[in-house]
Structure 1
């Protein structure tokens, strides 16, 4: 029997930024796996990657747009008329130029999430549980300012079973795209970041090479999972999980 950590959290206003959005900082409807895994590693103070799968479910009430201050600079020398902020170097007499302006961020309102964390190494399940049950400092998910209110943390037993009846989702859920043929849904397809390896492009310079997962964002109330497919079940809460 495998185990996972189940976490119920609430966030008032949050942005799970799409990497390809710039002028309007758009948000995913649910946090991508990389964001959840990053939160777990921060909470547990892991310095190296601990392989894990995550299940992501949630709802939000609405979306709003908010303004924020944006700074842009490229290490160029200060030029009056080109830059509106002058930064004097502490190391030499050079002055650098920077642009300060405003931009727009899309925010989810009253976001409620249920997250499942299933590490490859079962011996660290208690460690992850303790990290969220008694956090060492405040935890955020999304931007650093997107604080989480942890409502419940559980260690649950999970098992892969064959679904014996059709079910309708009661929360929006990320579902692996290979399972989408076994459900009735007009869902949105996303290719999301999960984890990465460092790739050297030249001496002393490494970049992140992301491993991605293809999922659908299945909406609650209208997505029906057909009987007969193999799914993972939370035996404690009698609920279905889709691990990524």
Structure 2
């Protein structure tokens, strides 16, 4: 099985948590849907191409920043005393909000297309992007430090701690989205007792389908995956998956 491996640097980034409004809080790493969306955009795909992804990385710190926020409701007529903007007679309010920015983000991403015949096409699209890539918000520019095709395989013969391997590779504060089913039984049970020491549990979006509710209303139904955001854990022996450069891969 082959994958496209990207090493990415971002000066700042926000991977918005969907339920955060007043303060746009960020996930610690980009969700699977964000990575898949970037790949599809750079490849000019106009429909979903099934793929799995692995997301790991680090950031140095986070800061709060201001952004311009627009608010409107369908059917609300423009009122000069309440609204700053109008669009076809609809009133729009403009103000400021707060956003969390991750600083000095380093990522290692693996993209595994279901159709392995697409590996070279996706590799070429990411190696020579048609425009400067972004990951997160439109303004969150992403520098592709390297783009490679790697082989994936289960090669380890003994248990290895994820944090130990990350330190061996010279990566500080390194963490990953690890699917819950790749944790061994002891770590999974311990997670509920000392969750702050072992990681944070998330339900991360991957892909969506469109559900027609009638009356011209269509909503997205997301496929979500339970993961542990962690930099210190052990894995089941049979689930060890590494690329040909020695990095763990946690494909979802």
TM over 0.5: yes
The structure-2 alpha-carbon separation of the partners of 1:88 and 1:112, relative to structure 1 and needing over 3 Å to count, comes to closer
Q: State the 1:194 CA deviation.
A: 0.4
Aligned positions of 1:10-89 closer than 5 A: 10-75=9-74, 76-81=76-81, 83-87=82-86, 89=88
Q: CA deviation at 1:148?
A: 0.4
TM-score, length-scaled by structure 1: 0.90
Corresponding residue SS for 1:241: coil
Once the 2 structures are TM-superposed, how far is the Cα of residue 33 of structure 1 from its aligned partner?
Answer: 0.3
Residue 92 (structure 1) aligns with = none
Q: Which has the higher strand share?
A: 1
Offset, 1:125 = 0.4
158-167 vs 17-26, which moves further? 158-167
Matched, 1:241 2:240: no
Q: How many Å apart are 1:138 and its aligned residue?
A: 1.4
Residue correspondences, number: 233
1:215 to 227, 235, 246: 227
Calculate the aligned-residue CA RMSD, in Å. Answer: 1.7
Q: Contact 1:160–1:231 (CA<8 Å) still a contact in 2?
A: yes
Tell me the alpha carbon deviations over residues 27-77 of structure 1, each in whole angstroms, 9 at most, x when there is no partner. Answer: 000001000000010010100100111000101000000001111112411
1:60-209 aligned within 5 A: 60-75=59-74, 76-81=76-81, 83-87=82-86, 89=88, 95-161=89-155, 163-169=157-163, 170=166, 171-182=174-185, 183=187, 186-209=198-221
Residue 86 of structure 1: how far off its partner (Å): 4.2
Instruction: Give the SS at the match of 2:237.
Output: coil
In 2: Cα distance, 1:36 partner to 1:114 partner = 11
SS for the counterpart of 2:184 is helix
Deviation at 1:179, TM superposition (A): 2.1
Q: Of 225, 233, 240, which aligns to 1:224?
A: 233
More divergent stretch after superposition (138-147 vs 173-182)? 173-182
Q: Normalising to structure 2: TM-score of the pair?
A: 0.87
Q: CA-to-partner distance for each residue in 1:160-217, whole Å, 9 max, x for gaps? A: 3465232233221000012233547621000010001111111543211110000000
